Structure 1
Amino acid sequence: MHPSVHARTTPDKPAIIMAGSGETISYAELDRRSNQVAQLLRARGIGIGDTVAMCLENHPWFFCLAWGFQRAGVHYVGISSRLTAPETAYILADSGAKILFGSAYLAPALDEVATLAPQVPQLRFGLDAEHALAAMPNTPIADERAGADMLYSSGTTGQPKGVKIPLPADPAIDATNVLVQLAMMAYGINADAVYLSPAPLYHAAPLRWSMTVHKIGGTVVVMERFDPEAALAAIEKYKITDSQFVPTHFVRMLKLPEDVRKKYDVSTLKCAIHAAAPCPVPIKQAMIEWWGPVLFEYYAGTEGNGSTFITSAEWLGKPGSVGKALSGILHICDENGDDVPPGTEGQVFFEPTEGMMPFEYHNDPAKTADAKNKHGWSSLGDVGYMDSDGYLFLTDRKSFMIISGGVNIYPQEIENLLITHPKVADAAVIGAPDPDMGERVVAVVQPLDIADATPQLAEELAAYLAPQLSRVKMPRQIDFREQLPRELTGKLYKRLLRDEYKQAYEKAQAGA
């Protein structure tokens, strides 16, 4: 149900707590502010079915905006605060956004956006947004209607595309949805939940899960930015019961000194959900040993075309699996779009079941069509296999596959091994152009300490991998970076690395 219901029953209960500052917004205040947001949209001529955008850091007003959009029947676009001005301007133009809510904190980038997208008016918190909203009535608009997010893919393999779903069939703003039912039944999240959101709120999972907790009536604790020790401190301080992480969060917490990890009480945690990127088996094993069997994993996409789910107990019996189908019917298909036998690798597809919403990539009918096979089943572009019990194991993304000397190599396996080395903070494995092999395997490693970025560490890592990988999968080159181009949501921008190596190769060839 909409938080406005909780504003009537538990008005003083915290709906939002900012983990760092402690700033708290009650359900009554969330209700007032979201009404003002909806009123502002109508005052600006923005109606049902229009599109609006927000580009904010994890800000106290973020959910006030989101819930205001939900009351106004608009499609709302959350834009990464880490994008460049041209990337933001592209999303504004592509989505047809009628207004952009930003913040004074992001002023340098948003000033440039204003020159690139002058057709989109901006309001910024810390500048003029609070004043504009304060002038609005804090009562509901006359034509309340449920809205829907329209989130853009992270552009890991090309220009980001907006995932557009129809506005909910039930126009009532307090209608329940599938995610609410899932949260309560599969994850046990209830009105007593204190939910930690450590990731950027513009991303699908943090936004949708946090808003789901609001629908249920729990409290959402928002980290302004992720820090491994600060996350543990927040779990202890706010007695967190539920949360969502990505595997890079786990890696960073596990690489804290043992005395730091043991310093914090995490016993209140009942449910630690993770998704968004593959989790190496040793990392997840170590987290279950540390936190207990409270890890729940799912596989799904912004597209909402299907999902899988697995508990800690199930995972311990099927290490590496992302679970069985929870929504949609799971299929592993060959290149012709036909089912393959259990244990055989292929592309992962979901067949829609009754009540599932269709999706489209905004302004890209070709990409929408390409996501479906001849049966009408849709895919996110991942490759994997299903065992005879119906459990899905992901191999990698199809677009990340390296073809070296005619052999198909999936980088995920190599990356999962590298990340377990004690001196490695992050790793990406790509295919770089090679005149003899077509592509050669290159590992780009972010050391925990950049001072370790030496030929000696490269040799140490190669020796570490050699007993665990077949010769064809061994990196032919190991390079170091102070920081990999990884989004805070866990997504790795491999396209940037591949483009870099491709350009270097072409430059070398031209100079040869």
Structure 2
Amino acid sequence: MHPGAFPPDHPAVVMATSGRSVSYGELDAAANRYSRLFHDRGLRPGDHVALVVENAIAFLELAWGAHYAGLLYTAVSTRLTPEEVAYVVVDCEAGALVVSARYTETAAALDGLVPAAVERLSVGGAIPGWPAVEDAAAGFDATPLPGERVAGRDMPYSSGITGRPKGIKPRELVAPLDDAPIIVTPILRDMLGVGADSVYLTPAPLYHAAPLRFSMAVHQLGGTVVVMERFTPESALDVLRDRGVTHTQMVPTMFVRLLRLPAEVRAAADVSSLRVVIHAGAPCPVDVKRQIIDWWGPIVHEYYASTEACGLTWVTSEQWLAHPGTVGKAAIGVPHVLGDDGTELGPGEIGTIHFSDGPPFEYHNDPAKTAEAHDARGWATCGDIGRIDEDGFLYLTDRKSFTIISGGVNVYPQEAEDVLISDPAVLDAAVFGIPHADLGEQVHAVVQLVSPVGPGEHQDAERTRLLALCRSRLADVKCPRSLDFRAELPRHDTGKLYKRLLVDEYRARLEA
């Protein structure tokens, strides 16, 4: 199950904007050359390579090259600072580091932060002092490494929203290359019908676990992966139409941006080729998802999982319409909702979500964090808050770290965020607690509008309207007491909000 097993002329990767493409034969040849290059540089199965590369064909060629060589490969966010990149490279014990020429300044800074023993290679252009990986690989045969090959694995890092990113250590590499599915391959094949005639659009950065895993899984099934260089709602609709996309995975913020397009643009959009739309990465407001289903039909699937992959829930459109807001029933592992004392709670009660009977995981080089993520029974948690209804459907409430305690009452900001984002004038919203002398914390909102308004009466009127909207839909204690406007919120390309940046900023300002 790898690119070399499929017709060599069939398109494997197509870049959405440039139109550049490679066939399965070309992808397999490049991966073989890169696997031989890594082997020549002394890397052996179980060793590690780190990639700092934008969405490009070379990204998938390198990932498959590492996979062919039996290596662990970590895709590093291109948005990290050099210090943050160096932390990941050193922590994962990478023997080789490949950096895109687009990030030459980052590479220059890394020279003083990463051990000299780490093999440095550039891709997509020249970086002073860094050999080009394309040139280095050109002299190697485009044939498989000799002997029995063990499949590599990705080793993702958590997004680091509330602290340093954590490496998710994969299980032992023992599976032969021909028999080792990417972790999500069975889901794409058995639940979503992905095959050789499928065209899968990945609009998110490949350095995130889900886009990379799903794209490589499509390659294990013989389909075509269309990679967007950068997501915009207008270009996404163009790609869906022009490339005949059958499957795609998005995050809720992408849905919101698509729904904020003018009505005539949405009405004219051709999405007839779509068979399946998957979404995950962040909670989706009920109103937003209902509108997407109304527009695209009951082809929307949602899953809830984490980079740790300790459990997974799944919900179809039909199930979701019968249980609005749910993230589904268990597909991997068994979910439990626990109180602060570790007691399992009953249907409808809100607590911390744990999974039992799921795949084991541990954090690389951090046994303390591994222990912290498990209770005495071995049930694992990623810190999310939620509830399970009487039919066994799971609902997310928020992350535990974002819970606001106002006047002794727990407030889950996702509820107010969902109300604000449901308003047609709002493009994005964040709700969090700020220090308050009497209440401890006060509920505060920051909003990004579709059409920004400047300071003055219009902004004051919009603030008053949005605060009133919250009060009309939620209990008073859950509603923001104050609201600011911003041109853009600090949201990760994968859809996750860097709320901690806002919290820290406001606390520093108010406590100064």
Q: TM-score normalised by the shorter chain: which range applies? A: over 0.9
1:436 to 435, 438, 443: 438
Letter in 2 for 1:245: M
1:363 Cα deviation after fit: 1.6
Letter in 2 for 1:418: L
**SS of equivalent to 2:112:** helix
Kindly indicate whether the alpha-carbon contact (under 8 Å) linking 1:385 and 1:393 is maintained by their aligned counterparts in 2. Answer: yes
Give the corresponding residue for 2:152: 147
| Residue 203, structure 1, aligned to residue 205, structure 2 | no
| Residue 298, structure 1, aligned to residue 303, structure 2 | yes
Letter in 1 for 2:242: K
**SS of equivalent to 2:184:** helix
Measure the CA separation in 1 of the matches of 2:78 and 2:452. Answer: 26
Give the corresponding residue for 1:123: 121
What do the CA deviations read for 1:145-187 (whole angstroms, capped 9, x no partner)?
Answer: 1111111111111111111112344233443355222212211
1:65 to 62, 65, 71: 62
1:445 Cα deviation after fit: 1.1
| Residue 3, structure 1, aligned to residue 7, structure 2 | no
Letter in 2 for 1:3: P
Question: In the TM superposition, what are the counterparts of 1:71-470 in structure 2 within 5 Å?
Answer: 71-119=68-116, 120-125=118-123, 126-127=125-126, 128-143=132-147, 144-176=149-181, 179-353=184-358, 356=359, 358-452=360-454, 454-470=459-475
Letter in 1 for 2:122: R
Kindly indicate whether the alpha-carbon contact (under 8 Å) linking 1:147 and 1:167 is maintained by their aligned counterparts in 2. Answer: no
Letter in 2 for 1:74: L
**SS of equivalent to 1:393:** strand
**SS of equivalent to 2:57:** coil
1:101 Cα deviation after fit: 1.0
What do the CA deviations read for 1:20-51 (whole angstroms, capped 9, x no partner)?
Answer: 01101100000000011111111111111111
Equivalent pairs counted in the alignment come to 501
Give the corresponding residue for 2:129: none
1:319 Cα deviation after fit: 0.5
Measure the CA separation in 1 of the matches of 2:120 and 2:466. Answer: 49
Measure the CA separation in 2 of the matches of 1:232 and 1:439. Answer: 42
1:229 Cα deviation after fit: 0.8
1:484 to 486, 489, 509: 489
Moved more, 308-317 or 427-436: 427-436
What do the CA deviations read for 1:432-456 (whole angstroms, capped 9, x no partner)?
Answer: 1222211111101112233356222
Measure the CA separation in 1 of the matches of 2:103 and 2:272. Answer: 37
Measure the CA separation in 2 of the matches of 1:440 and 1:36. Answer: 57
**SS of equivalent to 2:489:** coil
1:31 to 20, 28, 31: 28
1:475 to 473, 480, 487: 480
Kindly indicate whether the alpha-carbon contact (under 8 Å) linking 1:429 and 1:442 is maintained by their aligned counterparts in 2. Answer: yes
**SS of equivalent to 2:431:** strand
Letter in 2 for 1:103: S
Moved more, 257-266 or 309-318: 257-266
1:114 Cα deviation after fit: 2.3
**SS of equivalent to 2:94:** coil
What do the CA deviations read for 1:455-483 (whole angstroms, capped 9, x no partner)?
Answer: 22211211221111211112122112211
Inter-CA distance 452–463: structure 2 relative to 1 (3 Å threshold): farther
1:496 to 495, 501, 504: 501
Kindly indicate whether the alpha-carbon contact (under 8 Å) linking 2:150 and 2:173 is maintained by their aligned counterparts in 1. Answer: no
What do the CA deviations read for 1:310-358 (whole angstroms, capped 9, x no partner)?
Answer: 00011110000011000111111122323211111111111125xx3x2
Measure the CA separation in 1 of the matches of 2:210 and 2:183. Answer: 14
Identity %: 50
Moved more, 125-134 or 314-323: 125-134
What do the CA deviations read for 1:258-312 (whole angstroms, capped 9, x no partner)?
Answer: 1111222101100000001000000000000000001000000111101000000
Structure 2 portions without partners, runs of 5+? 127-131
**SS of equivalent to 2:432:** strand
Inter-CA distance 168–48: structure 2 relative to 1 (3 Å threshold): closer
Letter in 1 for 2:100: S
Measure the CA separation in 2 of the matches of 1:218 and 1:470. Answer: 48
Measure the CA separation in 2 of the matches of 1:268 and 1:426. Answer: 29
**SS of equivalent to 1:350:** strand
TM-score between the two structures when normalised by the length of structure 2: 0.95
1:201 Cα deviation after fit: 0.3
Measure the CA separation in 2 of the matches of 1:187 and 1:463. Answer: 42
Kindly indicate whether the alpha-carbon contact (under 8 Å) linking 1:73 and 1:167 is maintained by their aligned counterparts in 2. Answer: no
Letter in 2 for 1:492: L
Measure the CA separation in 1 of the matches of 2:262 and 2:172. Answer: 48
1:245 Cα deviation after fit: 0.3
Measure the CA separation in 1 of the matches of 2:259 and 2:361. Answer: 37
What do the CA deviations read for 1:183-217 (whole angstroms, capped 9, x no partner)?
Answer: 12211222211000000001011001111110010
Inter-CA distance 124–178: structure 2 relative to 1 (3 Å threshold): closer
What do the CA deviations read for 1:222-256 (whole angstroms, capped 9, x no partner)?
Answer: 00010101001000001100000000000000000
Moved more, 199-208 or 443-452: 443-452
**SS of equivalent to 2:376:** coil
Measure the CA separation in 1 of the matches of 2:173 and 2:192. Answer: 24
Kindly indicate whether the alpha-carbon contact (under 8 Å) linking 2:398 and 2:412 is maintained by their aligned counterparts in 1. Answer: yes
**SS of equivalent to 2:43:** coil
**SS of equivalent to 1:22:** coil
**SS of equivalent to 1:201:** coil
Moved more, 112-121 or 410-419: 112-121
1:381 Cα deviation after fit: 0.9
Give the corresponding residue for 2:40: 43
What do the CA deviations read for 1:475-501 (whole angstroms, capped 9, x no partner)?
Answer: 122112211111000011111111111
Measure the CA separation in 2 of the matches of 1:346 and 1:24. Answer: 47
1:74 Cα deviation after fit: 1.3
